[in-house]
Structure 1
Amino acid sequence: MVNFRKYVSSVAVLASGLFLAQSTVSTVLYSQAYDNQKSNLNLPSPIAAVVEKTVLSAKELVDINVNTMMTDPVLKNATWGFVVYDPKTKKVISSYNENTPLVPASTTKLLTTETALNLLGENYRWMTQLEYSGSVDENGVLNGNLYVVGSGDPSLGTNKAGAWSYRDIVADFISGMSREGIKKVNGDIIIQTALFKGNISRLPENVVWLENNNYYLPVGTTREINPANEKLIVKKGNTFSGEKKFFYVSPYNSQMVFADKYEGDGILTTKLPDAPAFLANTLRATMIKSGLAVTGKVTPKMTDATPESRKLVSSYKSPTLGDIIYYTNQHSDNSLAEALLKTVGFQSKGDQTSESGRIVVTNHLKEDGFDMLGLNYIDGSGLSRSNNVTPISQVKYLTSLMDEKYYKTYLTSLPIGGQSGTLKRMFVGTGNGQIFAKTGTLNKVKALAGYMKTNSGKTLVFSLLVNNYSGSVDMVKKRMEKILEPALDL
């Protein structure tokens, strides 16, 4: 816990510092008047800052900034917690409300993505295969069925993390059929995957439906949906606004969904959780357009008591799990995080529910010695306001990962201050290239947790979670930078 003494340099000391440039001020005077200056939010003048640094340690400067923020109008009525931790000494350097359970927003993804790395390995890939049953006659007619066999690839068709587009996968499948001499299919295209079957997902409890005027739905049934058929239900936004807001309702499941991108003319780029179904329908449409006739329809077959003998035509490999986790954390991708939650549930429990995923993640955390007191893990992405974690448990958890063989991959997946991902516009000056952390943002929630490389070459671990602040997100970001920047001198 921070020792909230008030360190101030008197006017006399400041003045002497100006005239005695070659001497070092060795004492810090305490002024009772400082108590009456708590509401002064202006940053110190450059001269005062130089003198202050000559007489105060980096730790003291961190503590002072934390103390100042307690009376800052943006944070004084907020609930927030902070820890900066030395992984070598296993000691807290500075902290405030470190044991308070707080809404972590998307820093929840730190738990989800690490669990996936731990259980599956960074080189894990998903396979999506095209197979056929029956036989091909001398005229190139397949008297049998085509099978699209999925394995729950969360990146399928998304172009995320280097994943192929649906068009590229379909082209590869059709090339495979050509190699097999198939010119016509006298049968159905069957979707066969036990993973994520149904996918009739309601959002986790207390999830944020409306956030910054956007609606979010990370998963849901969107079988056989072409994005062009989605219905835009609000105008594109204020002409003078740089940020456009997009909404749509799926006519197939009557749920509100968030569109990632608006491309004009009523076309929306949407999330397609039922990717194998969309892939199979795209395959059939492309086959027909290219003159490769198919007599049957696209149909799902989740279970098969008497499976047909089948031959592999083509196989598509997803990007590695390491690549997908890099994309997930850099872009704070909610749909990928929720898919990873289901994936670890399936791999460990044999079913594809979010509940199984939550059990797997929390069991993994217990086995790794995570401080479960104050933890409430509800979803994989951090969209639920029912998620809770304490700052101290986050930093100790992040510290424990530094000994894992996949730590480099995990660290690399985190946005870098001033340089990449969701941290590109923070720490543009001081701290540029030195902060490696996951961000989190919900309405009146801002979070940041990860690692920092200090100016002396140390690696420190930190967590800064702010709930129910006043003002704008940018105002909170500035306060977060002010708290963390002196720690770079530790």
Structure 2
Amino acid sequence: MSLRFLVLFFLALLPLMGAAAHSDEEAAIDRGHRGKGPNWLERMMDKSEVLAKHNVGVCITDVATGEQLYGLNAERYFTPASNMKLFSLYAGLHLLGDSLPSLRYVVRHDSLVFWGTGDPTLLHGDVPSRRQFDFLENRPEKLFYCQIPCVEPFAPGWTWDDYNYYYQPERGPFPIYGHTVRFYAKAGQAKPRIAPRDFAASVEPAPPGYRSSDHVRRAVLENRFFVLPFTKNWIDETPFRTSPELLLKLLQDTLHRSVGTAPWRLRPQDSVRTLAGLPVDSLYRRMLQVSDNFLAEQLVLMCSTKLGRDSLDTNRVIRLVTKQYLQDMPDAPQWVDGSGLSRLNLVTPRTLVALLLKLHREVPEPRLLSLLAAGGGHGTLRRVYHDASGPWFWGKTGTLTNNHNVCGYLRTKKGNLLAVSFMNNNFLQDTGDIRKEMERILKEVRERM
């Protein structure tokens, strides 16, 4: 065989060798994104028809050893929805101490000047507190409220037409009644009962031809509430538009005493005091278990009071916590708000797992698990992730239209505790189908890992 023939033969093989190498490289990359872990789990994920047409990311890590047991697109960014509340929890744990800062005030001669810290519990329907009420009601001084600079009522990336729904009240420095109006309808009655009663004059029957699938619709830019005809009992919450003027009216009507206004200005001689509010866990537990967006947003604003006294600024908290406490995350989160309502939030499954590991190291396990929703027990996981022995998953769900995620702690049959992040973005199926498939797969993880 001539040398010339060998050279030509080798040159002819080069494209095929290159294609094969390229194919092997693509396959390696594909395997890396598809899954790294037990073969049985990889097969379950590969063969799942429910998960086949949307973006899926999973990370499973042993809490005791820190070893990653399975990863699927764990390094890719997803829209986390309410999984972001775990970041807000982490901020609160590092900045707030044992109790909520309820309000701040200074005494100037015969006057008490007070302002908000973001504490959402004043006359809140689910986490009610009378600390501020009793304090202001019983002070002998004249009362003057001043409006501390605060973030906008809606965060970047929130859906504007969700303004009418209970899960998106406006943020603010001095919330009252959870920034919502509650409606209690009873069959046979012409009008629902309303709390607070201050809004009764702003409620009217929906005009003829008014169409809506909701019980109550508020006008977009004003506090006018239209009640649709009803024949059954129901309870509904609708956010109201906030303003310093409305807050002042509600405070005066509630306290039954005059409250004036004062400009926002601190003097060098002012001795600023903080009124302690409820224990922090009472807010953390409600925020995490039922995924309360309003409490999460206000939590981050309360954290802001620990970083300065000139404003309430969500971004300030995010910058500090990210820089000071989360530098060791595998992938830096894009963290925009406290609740996860914003679609601008982005995080990877392995970063959520890293946060779960940090929380477990820093918070005693019984306390940590008691704050989270529990499978078959309470909160957003009450109907899933349990068996005859009780709950085996404790965590946080995250749901927006076309997105559903869960992250938390899974106890295996062997007794091992695993940190899990399971993320689903951009699907068109019913969320219930996604939820059932996640539970089916995680049940096998519980049985076999």
CA-atom RMSD in angstroms: 4.1
User: Aligned partners of 1:124 and 1:86: how far apart in 2?
Assistant: 32
Instruction: Report matched runs for 1:177-326 at 5 Å.
Output: 189-192=143-146, 194=148, 197-204=149-156, 206-210=157-161, 214=165, 217-220=168-171, 226-228=198-200, 238=213, 244=214, 246-249=216-219, 251=221, 269-271=237-239, 280-286=248-254, 294=258, 298-305=260-267, 317-326=276-285
Corresponding residue to 1:437 among 395, 400, 409 = 395
Specify the alignment match of 1:53 in structure 2.
none
| C-alpha contact (below 8 Å) 2:60/2:420 kept by paired residues | yes
Give the SS at the match of 1:319. strand
Q: Check conservation: 1:147, 1:190, Cα contact below 8 A.
A: yes
Cα 1:82/1:228, change in 2 over 3 Å: farther
Find the residue that maps to 1:475 and give its secondary structure: helix
Are the equivalent residues in 2 in contact too, given 1:62–1:484 (CA < 8 A)? Answer: no
Deviation of 1:207 (Å): 2.4
Say yes or no: does 1:336 pair with 2:290: no
Alpha-carbon distance between aligned partners in 1 of 2:151 and 2:308, rounded to the nearest angstrom? 17
Instruction: Specify the alignment match of 1:126 in structure 2.
Output: 101
How many residues in Structure 1 have an aligned counterpart in Structure 2? 383
Partner of 1:471: 429
Aligned to 2:60: 84
Q: Quickly say closer, same or farther: Cα 1:479–1:246, change in 2 above 3 A.
A: farther
SS where residue 108 of structure 1 aligns?
helix
Determine if the alignment matches structure 1 residue 347 to structure 2 residue 306: yes
Output the CA distance in 1 between the equivalents of 2:234 and 2:415: 52
Residue 84 of structure 2 aligns to a residue whose secondary structure is helix
1:207-263 alpha-carbon deviations (Å, 9 max, x no partner): 23456995854434699985546568976955xxxxx56542465599xx9x9xx9x
**Cα gap change, 1:273/1:59 in structure 2, threshold over 3 Å: closer, same or farther?**
farther
2:415 alignment partner AA? G
* Other-structure match for 2:122: 156
Q: Deviations over 1:255-314 (max 9, x none)?
A: xx9x9xx9x9999745579699766534533565xxx7x5xx53243214488999x9xx
Which residue of the partner structure matches residue 335 of structure 2? 377
Shift in Å at residue 171 of structure 1?
Answer: 5.7
Whether contact under 8 Å (1:189, 1:280) holds in the other structure is: no
Cα distance change of structure 1 residues 323 and 171 upon mapping to structure 2, 3 Å threshold: closer
**Amino acid in structure 1 at the alignment position of 2:155:** L
Q: Distance in 2 between matches of 1:478 and 1:431?
A: 20
Distance 1:232 1:85 in 2: 54
Q: Counterpart in 2 of 1:106?
A: 82
Deviations 1:294-342 (A, max 9, x none): 5xx53243214488999x9xx9642112221111111111111112222
Q: Does 1:462 align with 2:414?
A: no
Other structure's SS at 1:126 match:
strand
Structure-2 change in CA distance of 1:419 and 1:149 (3 Å): same
Identity of aligned residues (%): 23
Quickly say closer, same or farther: Cα 1:155–1:272, change in 2 above 3 A: farther
Give the TM-score taking structure 1 as reference length: 0.66
* Residues 85, 338 of structure 2: 8 Å contact kept: yes
Give the Cα–Cα distance (whole angstroms) in 1 for the partners of residues 370 and 243 of structure 2: 28
Segments of 5+ residues of structure 1 without an aligned counterpart are 1-57, 135-143, 239-243
Q: Report the TM-score, using the length of structure 2 for normalisation.
A: 0.72
Distance in 2 (CA, whole Å) between partners of 1:309 and 1:214 is 40
Q: 2:3 maps to which residue?
A: none
Contact 1:418–1:424 (CA<8 Å) still a contact in 2?
A: yes
Secondary structure in 2 aligned to 1:298? strand
Q: Give the C-alpha shift of residue 352 in structure 1.
A: 1.5
Q: Contact conserved, 1:133 with 1:146, CA < 8 A, in 2?
A: yes
- 1:318 match: secondary structure: strand
Question: Distance between the aligned counterparts of 1:326 and 1:201, measured in 2?
Answer: 24
* Match in the other structure for 2:10: none
Distance 1:422 1:364, change over 3 A: farther
Q: What does residue 374 of structure 2 align with?
A: 416
Deviation sequence 1:97-131 (CA, Å, 0-9, x none) = 1111111110011111112102223x132234788
Please say if residues 167 and 292 of structure 2, whose CA atoms lie closer than 8 Å, have aligned partners that are also in contact.
Answer: no
Q: Please state if 1:484 is matched with 2:431.
A: no
Residues 172 and 209 of structure 1: is their aligned pair in 2 closer, same or farther, counting only changes over 3 Å? same
Relative to structure 1, the CA distance from residue 230 to residue 386 in structure 2 (aligned partners, 3 Å threshold; closer, same or farther) is farther
